Amino acid sequence: MNRLLLTVLLLALVVPAIHAQILYTLSGTVRDSASQQPIVRAAVVLDYEKAATGTYTDAQGHFSIKARIGQHVLVVRSLGFVPYRTTISLHENTVFNVRLPSVSSQLEEVVVTSKGYDRNVRQPLLGVSQINIATLKKMPAALGEVDILRSLQMLPGVTSVGEAANGVNIRGGTTDQNLILLDDTPIFNPTHMFGLFSVFPPDAVSGLDLYKGNVPARYGGRAASVLDISLRNPDLNKFQMTGGVSLVANRLTVETPIIKGKLALLVSGRGAFNDFLLRAVSPRFDNIRAKFGDGTAKMFWRVNDKNTVTAMGYYSQDLFQTNLLGSLANVNAVNTQYAQQTANGMVRWFHAFNDRTNLQTTALVAQYIPRILSTEDSTNNKVVLKQSLLQRQIKSNLNYQLENQKIEVGISGTHYRLNPGELIPGNSLAVNYQKTPIENALELGIHAEDEISLSEKLAVSAGLRYSHFLNLGPSVVRRYANGEVADATTVVDSTVYGAGQVTKQYGGFEPRLGLRYALTPNSSIKIGYNLMRQYLQVITNTTTPLPTSRWKTSDAHIQPQVSQLFSVGYFQNSKNNIFELSAEAYWRSTQHILDYKPGADFLLQPYPETQLLPGRSKAYGLEVMVSKKKGELTGWVNYTFARTLNQVNQGVDFQQQINGGDWYRANYDRPHSLNMSLTINQGRHHSFSFNFAYSSGRPYTAPEGFIRYQGRTYPYYDERNQYRLPDYHRLDFAWNIYSPSMKNRRWQGHWTFTVYNIYGRKNVYSIFYRTEGQATNPYRLSIFGAPIPSLTYNFEFK
Amino acid sequence: MRPLIIRVFIFLSSLLLITCVDRLDINLPQHTNIIVVDGMISNLPEPQIIQLNRSQTDSVTGRSGFKAITKAAVEVIVDSTQVIACHETTDGRYQLPSDFRGQVGHTYQLHFTLSDGTQYLSTQQLMQPVPPIDKVTLLFSLTSLPANTGVLEEFRSGYDVLLDVQDPANQRNYYRWDWSLYEKQDWCQSCNQGYYMTNQLRLVSSYPNILIYQTQPELAENCFDAPSPALFGGNYTPLPIFLINSYVCRTQCWDIIPSTTISVFSDTYSNGGAITSRNVGQIPYYTENPALVEVRQSSLTADAYHYFSLLQEQTQNTGGLADGLPAALSGNVHNTANPQEKIVGYFTAGAISSVRYWLDKKDATGIAYGGVYYHPGLKVTLPVPGDQQLFFAFHRALPTVESYLNFTILGGGLRPPTALCVPSDSRTPNRPEGWRD
């Protein structure tokens, strides 16, 4: 009893001391910020991190909560509204009213946006993704560089052969079957440093459209897809500067009005010259030199209310030297460098006849020059193997907008001038000047398209393009014996064509059709059909095309690739467009794809047809994606099943077949992939992003066995792509730290901390066999074999 | 617009761009059964040899095995008319008559018939002339051997073989370069769980648990397996598990170490040019002892060049971005009845010019691959004596001299005996031309 008494006494002494702290009342009303209607049963929580106390609002939206004096963290949440967070300091009874903005009135955070809130369901086009550059900037990026191509691979149907892939594979297409346009100018090599970074300046890009299903008739020239990246127009009224510093590259974008309201200029540059850091990290990188830079300038001139003129220039340069790349065979050199440059320019005149009719005329030039530089030992002289590709194009589009339809007609003419290879000896004593014949070609196109709503439920997009291709002389065209392997021994005769003479022409219609049928206001079914013709392609025998891989126009022996795509999809949006579901299935068939003979060599080869085998390709797949587009948590999850198979069967000889003429897996055939991209916007201070990517390993060719030859063991290869690399998966994380207190300052900065490949999986890029001494050993190569943290500082100056 | 003063503080977090290459331990199912033809007719006065083997996967273990093809009728057809038969010297090794050698400007074609009657024929190979080697330089480098190749673990010191040749302008030339390293070998035989015997032995007594052998007049010159424990009855003292006895050579002896990489070149881009300082191979710095290097330059036909350059590309690749995808190589030998059968290897003819280079190794720095030995007991590294360095380089263990026999031998002289230097592709008792003492 005594003990109990003692306890009570002690409590009596202590408890009043606790109660001595005064409790104040925090009360208020929670309302919808737009309608001013009270929000019922909104959760009001104080200090959720410590001793969370909380309540709900009543029918009138009122709440009342007691708390001690001092600082408190207040969070107000209600389903369908953006949560509200603040810190309040409580010194007396306080009334605190909260207005929550509705989630549905928020701007969308994620993919598939612009024109119309429910475009997903309403537009009669399938397989169109529009990516908001703001979304991309929040996504975790390898080495802190915002990378469009890498981010695109988080979308269904977009894959690549691995982390160092020089381009992406879209719905079973090769990398060169994607038409990549940067403000209408074609990009022939989309990556820096052999696929580690993409070439598009993130600060200058305003958005991008990816057409992997229905491709509008105005686009032509590639067989699989179109990636249309547009650069931002400079602000006509306000100076502003943005930039960033990361471990890999530094960038700066300046936009300034020249004549306020009339003429403005945007200049954006990025450079990576930090390769000395690599050498500092490990002596293994001693021999690596990696520098790249790209710059963009865009001018926008509003001539008057009816006319605008836009001019754009883009330049990019790369220099790369590494042991991972082979040297130029038969040039006696001690080291090899790869250098490439892109120089594109474009002028566009936009004229509005009236509110409904406008005409856009664009003239552009794009030049791509890759070079391999081999340094000779004795003289330090560089022997240069150079390729150059020049594309000049002029096109004009007339758009006519009606109440329920949109009509577009246009013409285009493109000239290609291709120097497939030139060996420039410099002052070498050994090497002789060599040259392969220049290729000249003309591609003409005319198109018409009508997008029309036939009824509430039915909408159609019908387009037709006709393209005509002319391969022009001067050239020598060989004729090979019928049914024989095309090589030097089977030449029957050859024809000499003079300058400007047509050596071969191809042409054909390219129908494009999209159909949408609305099941309910929030769901629809779409079907699509596409035919596309491609007259310019990369020929290569490497896993991923090198920047120096040879481009080739269609000619008497190499027929244009023709691809047909059938697709069908189901689309559904949730009531307030917060969630979006899409499921698309496709089937694609391509004629005249190019594969190579075993041991093909395209370098300085005047007759590449002797090294090539035409074949066909089929691809099919199913893509399912769910995205949450608004709210604190945004992002998407998608699953793709996709197959790509090729067949080459040109004759009975085993040199004319691949895998005995059977269907075989394409290099990028990866049946299953699952991607998840999530962003958590924690108020104005932080955002966290996670990316998770999984896909089946790509096929590779392993030896069938080993042979003993000349005292050594060699692998014996036969079937192509009969094995798969281990599955690929990776998790990335990004933390964006903003400081809203600086909101009103002219200078604003924010930090991005990213970790690429958090759990450090050694994803296998390739498995290969090397004969060492007398034995042959298997090896695997991982590109990013460890977690890669990086920190980027971004700033904006207005 | 006010002038901008931009001060950006850069905090560079740790960057670990880890591109790594790992040795893999995979065992994919193999299924090959393929004939491998290896033959080159040269213009040198030395044995002209054609080797035939079958690379076959064992159906039980799934591992590759190589079996010599014996009892084949092998012949070389010169200029489509003259047929010269080969005789089998050892299993799968067919030699042309000893006075036969190839001549520039003549064509050679291989024809052989297996014991089951299947016939094979190669394409015709025209022996091309080869220019002389102008100069060979062997340059020591601490990083000569490529990194991470696993040949000699992480050891990289070696000699770069640099070669100069003036390419003739009037013709298309295809080259192949090989080197052979002659190193003096003092240890001619090692016997695992056994002892070297010059003569054959006969068991004369095993009682009481003491084995006695009598030396016979017939020569053995080989290892004699330690007698099985069963012979000893119950009184057997086990031998050490790692009992390897090594025996010094009776005569002078040289090991011939061949090049391990394929080095080919075409003058496609440099016809008539001077090929200077062409790195045609790397010779590991095995020992500190002087050695002799023979560098050979062979002419190849265009097709043979193409074959070897592809073989090189496929087997010496870096796994990376620019490697061509591996594909089946087609050799120039075909089954006359079944053109679908794939046959590996190439039969070719080539003229050879060679240079012998005395490698005194005076310019070498650092430690030779066989130069130091880590003593696990004393935990120190000790220098390896010169006469043991080549042995140590190949076996990564010092030679242990026979010290104890658990049986008795009658006759046969003092033990341990010396071992015979048995000539083979990789060893010769004949003093190589150009060797200096």
> Structure tokens of A553?
């126009």
pLDDT class for A741, splitting at 50, 70, 90?
A: low
| C-alpha–C-alpha distance, residues A614 and A591, integer Å | 8
Instruction: Assess B65–A contact: CB distance below 8 Å, yes or no.
Output: no
| C-alpha–C-alpha distance, residues A725 and B50, integer Å | 39
Contacts of A541 in chain B (CB under 8 A): 324-325
Q: Which of B211, B250, B260 is nearest to B231 (CA)?
A: B211
User: Could you list the residue range(s) of the whole structural domain that residue A31 is in?
Assistant: 21-105
Q: What share of chain A is helix, strand, coil (3-state, %, to 5)?
A: 10, 55, 35
Would the pLDDT of A116 be above 80?
Answer: no
- Using a 10 angstrom Cβ sphere, with 0-12 exposed, 13-18 middle and 19 or more buried, the burial of residue A235 is middle
Q: Which of A105, A128, A146 is the last residue in one of the domains?
A: A105
For residue B141, what pLDDT is reported? Answer: 92
| C-alpha–C-alpha distance, residues A115 and A128, integer Å | 12
With respect to residue B400, please indicate whether it lies within any of the assigned structural domains.
yes
β partners of residue B44? none
| Of B66, B273, B321, Cβ closest to residue A708 | B66
| C-alpha–C-alpha distance, residues A425 and A432, integer Å | 6
**What is the interface pTM, i.e. ipTM, of the complex?**
0.86
Proportion of chain B above pLDDT 70, given as a percent: 91
Instruction: State pLDDT tens for residues A593-627.
Output: 998 887 788 888 999 998 999 999 999 999 999 99
| Of B12, B270, B329, Cβ closest to residue A599 | B329
Q: What is the CATH number of the domain that holds A93?
A: 2.60.40.1120
Query: For the ranges A477-486, B122-131, B334-343, which has the lowest average pLDDT?
Result: A477-486
Calculate the average pLDDT of chain B.
87
Three-class secondary structure of residue A12 per DSSP: helix
Chain B: residue whose CA lies nearest to A544 = B321
Q: Which of B106, B126, B146 is the last residue in one of the domains?
A: B126
Full 3-state SS string of A714-737: EEECCCCCCEECCCEEEEEEEEEE
* Per-residue DSSP letter, B323: P
With respect to residue A166, please indicate whether it lies within any of the assigned structural domains.
yes
Region B292-311 average pLDDT: 94
Chain B: residue whose CA lies nearest to A325 = B322
Q: B243 with B373, same domain?
A: yes
How crowded is residue A355: how many other Cβ atoms within 10 Å of its Cβ?
A: 7
Q: B70 with B212, same domain?
A: no
Q: A325 with A252, same domain?
A: yes
Region B193-198 average pLDDT: 91
Instruction: Assess B57–A contact: CB distance below 8 Å, yes or no.
Output: yes
With respect to residue B317, please indicate whether it lies within any of the assigned structural domains.
no
β partners of residue A788? A756
Single-letter residue type at A134: A
B276 to A720: CB separation less than 8 angstroms, yes or no: no
Q: Which of B180, B179, B174, B177 is nearest to B299 (CA)?
A: B174
With respect to residue A10, please indicate whether it lies within any of the assigned structural domains.
no
Chain B: residue whose CA lies nearest to A601 = B324
B57 to A705: CB separation less than 8 angstroms, yes or no: yes
Q: Which of B78, B356, B307 is nearest to B174 (CA)?
A: B307
Chain A: residue whose CA lies nearest to B345 = A709
> Structure tokens of A16?
């009043």
Region A651-660 average pLDDT: 79
Instruction: Assess B20–A contact: CB distance below 8 Å, yes or no.
Output: yes
B268 to A430: CB separation less than 8 angstroms, yes or no: no
Model confidence, pTM: 0.85
Q: B103 with B241, same domain?
A: no
> CA distances (Å), A229 to each of A135, A208, A210, in order?
15, 4, 8
β partners of residue B175? B265, B299
With respect to residue B206, please indicate whether it lies within any of the assigned structural domains.
yes
> CA distances (Å), B44 to each of B29, B173, B222, B258, B353, in order?
42, 19, 33, 18, 9
Indicate which of A656, A720, A768 best probes the interface with B, i.e. most B CBs within 10 Å of its own CB: A768
pLDDT class for A3, splitting at 50, 70, 90?
A: low
Three-class secondary structure of residue B117 per DSSP: coil
Q: Which of A105, A127, A149 is the last residue in one of the domains?
A: A105
> Structure tokens of A781?
């190569």
| C-alpha–C-alpha distance, residues A599 and A188, integer Å | 25
Q: A439 with A522, same domain?
A: yes
Region A103-122 average pLDDT: 48
Residue A541 Cα, gap to closest chain B Cα (Å): 5
Report the domain count for chain B: 2
Q: A696 with A723, same domain?
A: yes
Taking the CA atoms of chain A, what radius of gyration do you get in angstroms? 31
**B179/B64: higher pLDDT:** B179
Torsions phi, psi of A790, nearest 5?
Answer: -155, 155
* Per-residue DSSP letter, B13: P
How crowded is residue A250: how many other Cβ atoms within 10 Å of its Cβ?
A: 19
Calculate the average pLDDT of chain A.
86
pLDDT class for A280, splitting at 50, 70, 90?
A: low
Contact between residue A475 and residue A436 where contact means Cβ atoms under 8 Å apart: no
- Window 365-424 of B: residues touching A by CB (8 A cutoff) are none
Q: Count CB pairs under 8 A between chains A and B.
A: 263
Instruction: State pLDDT tens for residues A320-369.
Output: 876 555 567 788 887 788 899 999 999 999 999 988 899 999 999 999 99
Residue B20 Cα, gap to closest chain A Cα (Å): 5
| C-alpha–C-alpha distance, residues A459 and A451, integer Å | 7
Give B151-220 as a DSSP string.
EEEE---EEEEEEEEE--TTS--EEEEEEEEEEE--EEEEEETEEEEEEEEEEEE-TTS--EEEEEEEEE
Q: A81 with A132, same domain?
A: no
For residue A6, what pLDDT is reported? Answer: 47
Residue B426 Cα, gap to closest chain A Cα (Å): 10
Chain A: residue whose CA lies nearest to B316 = A770
With respect to residue B301, please indicate whether it lies within any of the assigned structural domains.
no
Proportion of chain A above pLDDT 70, given as a percent: 91
Q: Which of A720, A766, A775, A777 is nearest to B26 (CA)?
A: A777
Torsions phi, psi of A569, nearest 5?
Answer: -150, 155
Region A290-319 average pLDDT: 92
Instruction: Assess B169–A contact: CB distance below 8 Å, yes or no.
Output: no
Would the pLDDT of A497 be above 90?
Answer: yes
Q: Which residue is it, tokens 């290459």?
A: B21
Paired sense of beta strands A633-647 and A663-665, if any: antiparallel
Would the pLDDT of A17 be above 80?
Answer: no
Chain A: residue whose CA lies nearest to B35 = A707
Instruction: State pLDDT tens for residues A527-563.
Output: 999 999 999 999 988 888 888 889 999 999 999 999 9
Residue A547 Cα, gap to closest chain B Cα (Å): 10
Contacts of B277 in chain A (CB under 8 A): 332, 377-378
Q: A167 with A207, same domain?
A: yes
Q: A130 with A74, same domain?
A: no
| C-alpha–C-alpha distance, residues A179 and A211, integer Å | 10
Q: A96 with A213, same domain?
A: no
Single-letter residue type at A181: L
Residue A791 Cα, gap to closest chain B Cα (Å): 6
Single-letter residue type at B242: F
With respect to residue A4, please indicate whether it lies within any of the assigned structural domains.
no
Q: A619 with A657, same domain?
A: yes
With respect to residue A147, please indicate whether it lies within any of the assigned structural domains.
yes
A788 to B317: CB separation less than 8 angstroms, yes or no: no
Contacts of B167 in chain A (CB under 8 A): 430
With respect to residue B101, please indicate whether it lies within any of the assigned structural domains.
yes
| Of A544, A598, A709, Cβ closest to residue B327 | A598
Contacts of B274 in chain A (CB under 8 A): 429-430
Region B282-306 average pLDDT: 95
With respect to residue A406, please indicate whether it lies within any of the assigned structural domains.
yes
Q: B118 with B193, same domain?
A: no
With respect to residue B168, please indicate whether it lies within any of the assigned structural domains.
no
How crowded is residue B171: how many other Cβ atoms within 10 Å of its Cβ?
A: 13
Report the domain count for chain A: 2
Region A105-129 average pLDDT: 55
B330 to A245: CB separation less than 8 angstroms, yes or no: no
Q: Within 13 Å of residue A646, how many CA atoms lie on the same side as its CB?
A: 25
User: Could you list the residue range(s) of the whole structural domain that residue B115 is in?
Assistant: 33-126
Q: Within 13 Å of residue A790, how many CA atoms lie on the same side as its CB?
A: 24
E strand residue ranges, A473-596: 475-480, 491-497, 502-520, 523-534, 536-539, 550-553, 561-573, 579-596
β partners of residue A192? A197
Classify the phi-psi angles of B248: left when phi > 0, otherwise alpha if psi is within -120 to 50, otherwise beta: beta
Contact between residue A685 and residue A744 where contact means Cβ atoms under 8 Å apart: no
- Using a 10 angstrom Cβ sphere, with 0-12 exposed, 13-18 middle and 19 or more buried, the burial of residue A115 is exposed
Q: Which of B98, B126, B154 is the last residue in one of the domains?
A: B126
pLDDT class for B89, splitting at 50, 70, 90?
A: very high
Q: Which residue is it, tokens 């994607």?
A: A178
With respect to residue B318, please indicate whether it lies within any of the assigned structural domains.
no
Region A171-185 average pLDDT: 94
| C-alpha–C-alpha distance, residues A386 and A389, integer Å | 10
For residue B130, what pLDDT is reported? Answer: 96
Region A382-390 average pLDDT: 94
**A8/A764: higher pLDDT:** A764
With respect to residue B83, please indicate whether it lies within any of the assigned structural domains.
yes
Q: A631 with A604, same domain?
A: yes
Q: A25 with A161, same domain?
A: no
Contacts of B345 in chain A (CB under 8 A): 707, 709
B31 to A704: CB separation less than 8 angstroms, yes or no: yes
How crowded is residue A224: how many other Cβ atoms within 10 Å of its Cβ?
A: 28
Paired sense of beta strands B158-166 and B49-57, if any: unpaired
- Window 288-347 of B: residues touching A by CB (8 A cutoff) are 306, 309-311, 313-330, 339-340, 342, 344-345
Would the pLDDT of B9 be above 80?
Answer: no
For residue A14, what pLDDT is reported? Answer: 43
Region A558-582 average pLDDT: 90
* Per-residue DSSP letter, B150: B
B36 to A797: CB separation less than 8 angstroms, yes or no: no
Would the pLDDT of A765 be above 70?
Answer: yes
Region A635-653 average pLDDT: 91
For residue B432, what pLDDT is reported? Answer: 95
Q: A304 with A205, same domain?
A: yes
Would the pLDDT of B161 be above 90?
Answer: yes
Instruction: Assess B5–A contact: CB distance below 8 Å, yes or no.
Output: no
Instruction: Assess B70–A contact: CB distance below 8 Å, yes or no.
Output: no
Number of H helices, E strands in chain A: 5, 51
- The residue count for chain B: 437
Query: For the ranges A632-646, B62-76, B95-109, which has the lowest average pLDDT?
Result: B62-76
| C-alpha–C-alpha distance, residues A107 and A114, integer Å | 10
Q: Which of A26-40, A106-120, B66-80 has the highest mean pLDDT?
A: B66-80
| C-alpha–C-alpha distance, residues B148 and B143, integer Å | 11
Instruction: State pLDDT tens for residues A678-706.
Output: 988 876 778 899 999 999 999 998 888 88
Q: A696 with A742, same domain?
A: yes
B269 to A773: CB separation less than 8 angstroms, yes or no: no
pLDDT class for A278, splitting at 50, 70, 90?
A: low
* CA angle, A115 then A118 then A121, to 5°: 115
| Of A322, A710, A772, Cβ closest to residue B150 | A772
| Of A241, A324, A431, Cβ closest to residue B273 | A431
Contact between residue B225 and residue B194 where contact means Cβ atoms under 8 Å apart: yes
β partners of residue B184? B254
Region A67-79 average pLDDT: 82
How crowded is residue B214: how many other Cβ atoms within 10 Å of its Cβ?
A: 16
* Four-residue CA torsion sign, A320, A604, A169, A464: positive
Q: Which of A58, A80, A105 is the last residue in one of the domains?
A: A105
Q: What is the CATH number of the domain that holds B48?
A: 2.60.40
> CA distances (Å), B49 to each of A364, A647, A754, B352, in order?
65, 42, 63, 15
How crowded is residue B434: how many other Cβ atoms within 10 Å of its Cβ?
A: 13
> Structure tokens of B188?
């001619």
Q: Which of B85, B105, B126 is the last residue in one of the domains?
A: B126
| C-alpha–C-alpha distance, residues A594 and A611, integer Å | 10
| C-alpha–C-alpha distance, residues A350 and B150, integer Å | 63
Give B326-365 as a DSSP string.
P-----SEEESS-TT---EEEEEEE-EEEEEEEE--TT--
Contacts of B8 in chain A (CB under 8 A): 245, 793, 795
